[in-house]
């Protein structure tokens, strides 16, 4: 820009003051810079080749539909139909009427995840599907207690082992091919997040039914606390004794009426043993849910966080204050930004569980305006019928994202991951990914 200013001054000598020349030059430079920052022009091919993450994706919501049909026969799970198109029309739909409607399909997906071979297969296919669209790192989450039984042979650790066996097989196959090709690209890596459940009800799973039977005389809240503590204890063993890359704990399920602070003891145990914490919060409840996740559960990331700035959903009179909650929201936004918390944003899923919401109204716009750290995720590849490529394409088009914004969002997924390796290895991996990202963009210009 300085060279531009000097050039402009030379051609305007005697006509304008130095200050006027410099001001005009700077204005022109800003204009040119703005032109370079126009909306990123994207193609499916470019987005597929870019290295990506998916930090918020549920294994039991991301089966191949053909595999679901096949395993349903094996496990005697009665589906509404065995025709792919019919299931996509009636169960795994483009649009849903409510969160309950969205969750209805999980009774079938969890129903076929009842033994190690089935879970291993589903995990393997999940990893392959992610590779095929350029995802180089993911953190898949699931609730082991939804699949485990009370039998010693298939408890929480056995579920974690089955998932890890499938994921590791796919990773090793991909990385072997990459090494053999001689291409200078980032390796494929992954980690596992285990989910405790906010609510437990009869028939939810074999494990929960057994737990409720043993603790039949205890309050429901205490049973939920038993379950989340058991999950953390077993997952620490999975990591430390079985070599499974369990990196974090989460709580999932209905927020309203099942507050995060119920799980404080379990999350404190996770905190003590160096497990990261991510919490579904602000999806169907207001900013107070996010506040609880950060304050009571030491959350390092937030799942969804859609209602971060929705002051109308604040219920506590203390938080409403005298300004209707505006001050509380402002303080909360500053807090999560100061702590560099990352929000795992799932656009399609949010549109499907909040009928009437349009993409242009999505809270991602407000998050970006406040410089909240975000990464774009799929949530459920089958239930939401989406991919990481589709999610990125949607938000780029809807919010006219610049190349810099897209790069920041994508690379933020790697930077805010719970990468299971040593810190220096993690830094080298992020650097490798960043260099590869820039190379892919240059090749597509």
Asked if pLDDT for residue 118 goes beyond 50, the answer is: yes
> How sure is the predictor about 351, in pLDDT bands with cuts at 50, 70 and 90?
very high
Q: Could you identify the residue written with the tokens 């200050």? A: 19
pLDDT digits (tens, 9 = 90+) for 394-433: 999 999 999 999 999 999 999 999 999 999 999 999 999 9
Q: What is the pLDDT of residue 356?
A: 85
**Mean per-residue pLDDT over the chain, rounded:** 90
Handedness of CA 203, 204, 206, 207 (dihedral sign): negative
CATH architecture of the domain with residue range 46-443: Alpha-Beta Barrel (3.20)
Q: Give the CA angle between residues 47, 36, 13 to the nearest 5°.
A: 165
Rg of the chain over CA atoms, in angstroms?
Answer: 24
Cβ-contact 345, 305 below 8 angstroms: yes
Cβ-contact 113, 147 below 8 angstroms: yes
> How sure is the predictor about 260, in pLDDT bands with cuts at 50, 70 and 90?
confident
User: What token pair was written down for 329?
Assistant: 């929201």
Q: Name the burial class of residue 422, with classes exposed (0-12), middle (13-18) and buried (19+) by CB atoms within 10 angstroms of its CB.
A: exposed
Asked if pLDDT for residue 307 goes beyond 50, the answer is: yes
pLDDT digits (tens, 9 = 90+) for 271-302: 999 999 999 998 877 899 899 999 999 999 99
Asked if pLDDT for residue 383 goes beyond 90, the answer is: yes
Tell me how far apart the 2 most distant CA atoms of the chain are, in Å.
Answer: 93
Give which of 411, 444, 406 is closest to 430, Cα–Cα. Answer: 411
pLDDT digits (tens, 9 = 90+) for 92-106: 998 898 878 888 899
Q: What is the pLDDT of residue 348?
A: 96
Cβ-contact 276, 239 below 8 angstroms: no
Q: What is the pLDDT of residue 321?
A: 84
Q: Supply the pTM of this predicted model.
A: 0.89
Question: Domain ranges in the chain?
Answer: 46-443
Give which of 164, 161, 212 is closest to 189, Cα–Cα. Answer: 164
pLDDT digits (tens, 9 = 90+) for 54-63: 999 999 999 9
Q: What is the pLDDT of residue 10?
A: 40
> How sure is the predictor about 24, in pLDDT bands with cuts at 50, 70 and 90?
low
Residues 6+ apart with CB under 8 A from 190: 127, 137, 138, 139, 140, 167, 171, 245
Q: What is the pLDDT of residue 17?
A: 54
């Amino acid at each position: 820009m300085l060279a531009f200013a000097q050039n402009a001054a030379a051609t305007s000598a005697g006509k304008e003051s130095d200050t006027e020349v410099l001001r005009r030059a700077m204005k022109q430079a800003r204009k040119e810079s703005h032109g370079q920052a126009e909306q990123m022009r994207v193609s499916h091919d470019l987005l597929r080749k870019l290295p990506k993450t998916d930090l918020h994706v549920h294994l039991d919501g991301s089966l191949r539909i053909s595999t679901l049909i096949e395993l349903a026969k094996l496990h005697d799970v009665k589906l509404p139909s065995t025709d792919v198109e019919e299931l996509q029309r009636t169960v795994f739909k483009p649009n849903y009427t409510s969160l309950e409607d969205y969750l209805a399909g999980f009774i079938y997906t969890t129903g076929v995840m009842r033994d190690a071979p089935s879970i291993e297969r589903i995990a393997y296919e999940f990893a392959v599907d992610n590779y095929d669209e350029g995802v180089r790192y993911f953190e898949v989450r699931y609730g082991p207690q939804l699949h485990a039984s009370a039998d010693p042979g298939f408890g929480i650790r056995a579920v974690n082992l089955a998932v890890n066996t499938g994921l590791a097989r796919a990773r090793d196959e991909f990385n072997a091919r990459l090494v053999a090709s001689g291409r200078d690209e980032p390796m494929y890596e992954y980690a596992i997040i285990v989910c405790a459940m906010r609510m437990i009800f009869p028939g939810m799973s074999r494990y929960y039914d057994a737990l409720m039977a043993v603790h039949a005389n205890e309050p429901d809240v205490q049973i939920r606390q038993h379950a989340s503590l058991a999950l953390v204890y077993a997952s620490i063993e999975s990591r430390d004794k079985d070599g499974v890359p369990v990196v974090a704990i989460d709580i999932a399920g209905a927020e309203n009426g099942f507050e995060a602070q119920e799980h404080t003891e379990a999350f404190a145990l996770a905190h003590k043993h160096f497990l990261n914490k991510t919490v579904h919060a602000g999806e169907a409840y207001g900013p107070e849910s996010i506040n609880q996740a950060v304050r009571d559960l030491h959350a390092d990331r937030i799942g969804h966080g859609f209602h971060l700035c929705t002051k109308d959903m604040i219920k506590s009179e203390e938080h409403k204050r005298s300004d209707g909650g505006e001050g509380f929201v402002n303080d909360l936004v500053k807090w999560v930004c100061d702590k560099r918390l990352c929000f795992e944003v799932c656009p399609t899923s949010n549109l499907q569980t909040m009928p009437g919401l349009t993409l242009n109204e999505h809270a991602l716009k407000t998050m970006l305006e406040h410089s909240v750290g975000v990464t774009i995720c799929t949530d459920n590849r089958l239930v939401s019928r989406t991919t990481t490529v589709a999610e990125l394409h949607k938000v780029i088009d809807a919010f006219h994202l610049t190349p810099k914004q897209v790069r920041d969002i994508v690379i933020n997924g790697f930077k805010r991951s719970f990468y299971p390796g040593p810190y220096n290895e993690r830094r080298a991996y992020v650097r490798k990914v960043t260099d590869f990202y820039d190379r892919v963009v240059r090749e597509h210009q």
